[in-house]
Amino acid sequence: MLTSTTDIVQGRTIARYHGIVTAEVVYGTNALRDFFAGIRDLIGGRTGSYEQIFEKGHREAIAELGQRAQKLGANGVIGVSVNTGTINVDDRGALLLITATGTAVTVD
């Protein structure tokens, strides 16, 4: 499955537009990960455990985007955008949200 952040694919012709596709990946927070992230907030530095979660989430969201496009008969997704955010569950926790959107296309 071809995926691209651009709206054209150099050297290829877009034969058909299938529409917008979206994919969402949601992860629950983890008490241990939150504890170590809190320590990083105090002493500074990068939070590797959260970086790994977001990296994994980006990969999974893009893969899911491709699967949803394929169900529409597409062989590519162009204009891909990936965003991250949180969903507050209560005063003690949040969910990590990664969304991907793009346009499903058939390219020659």
Give the sheet arrangement for strand 93-107, strand by strand: 2-3, 76-90, 93-107, 14-28
User: How many Å apart are CA 75 and CA 12, to the nearest integer?
Assistant: 12
Return the residue matching tokens 């699967």.
67
Which H/E stretch holds residue 42? Answer: helix 31-43
- φ, ψ dihedrals at 14, nearest 5°: -85, 115
Q: Is 8 helix (H, G, I), strand (E, B) or coil?
A: coil
Kindly report the pTM of this predicted structure: 0.79
CA–CA distances in Å: residue 51 to residues 20, 33, 67, 74: 28, 11, 24, 31
Handedness of CA 2, 8, 12, 17 (dihedral sign): positive
pLDDT at position 37, please?
Answer: 54
Spatial neighbors of 47 by CB under 8 A, at least 6 apart, are 36, 37, 40
Tens-binned pLDDT, residue by residue, of the chain (108 aa): 999 999 999 999 999 999 999 999 998 765 555 555 555 555 566 666 678 888 999 999 999 999 999 999 999 999 999 999 988 877 767 788 999 999 999 999
Q: Are 25 and 61 in contact (CB under 8 A)?
A: yes
Predicted confidence at residue 31, as pLDDT, reads 52
The architecture CATH gives domain 2-107? 2-Layer Sandwich (3.30)
Domain ranges of the chain: 2-107
